[in-house]
Amino acid sequence: MPALIIIGLVMVALAPRVQRAAAAKAAESAPDAAPSRRRSLLLLAGIGVLGLYGGYFGAAQGILIVGLMSMVTIESLQRINAIKNVLTTAVNSVAAVTFMAFAWESINWSLVLLIAVGATLGGFLGARVGRRLSPLALRATILVLGTAALIRIVFFG
């Protein structure tokens, strides 16, 4: 998992440079052109793989989605963060329904309640704060929190 967090952090950090290059290239070829087919396929495949990964494991899924979308699209970080929230909610919902259908007896409902409340509050508060932050501040927040999570996992298990 630390490697996935590092990959996500690198993608988030490098994204502005990649986005500027992609925007300049798009402006040269056709100002109103849609994203290239290659980028669209890469985004679709990447989101699919991260969805499968997230439904099974979930750790670092959010930062990986933000990193991927930051590298492949020219969307604002606030919009990417909002899309990430919708995607992770969908993935977690499908995973929850799957677990209820196939492993009902293994579910600890007290933990489910705690996780559901925490995820819901975090989603609403994170969305409110994320919309108000500048792209630079939001990117810095993602990098700081991702680095803190990485340090926590690597050094404190």
Q: What is the pTM of this model?
A: 0.74
**CA nearest to 136, candidates 16, 24, 21:** 16
Tens digit of each residue's pLDDT, the chain (157 residues): 788 888 888 888 888 888 777 777 666 665 555 667 888 899 999 999 999 988 888 778 888 998 899 888 888 888 998 899 899 989 989 999 999 999 999 999 999 999 889 988 988 888 888 888 888 898 898 899 889 989 998 898 7
- The dihedral over CA atoms of 115, 118, 120, 121, expressed in degrees to the nearest 10, equals 170
Q: 152: how many CB neighbours lie within 10 A of its CB?
A: 10
- The dihedral over CA atoms of 45, 51, 53, 59, expressed in degrees to the nearest 10, equals 130
Contact assessment for residue 142 and residue 66, using Cβ atoms and an 8 Å cutoff: yes
Residue 85 has which token pair?
A: 């929230």
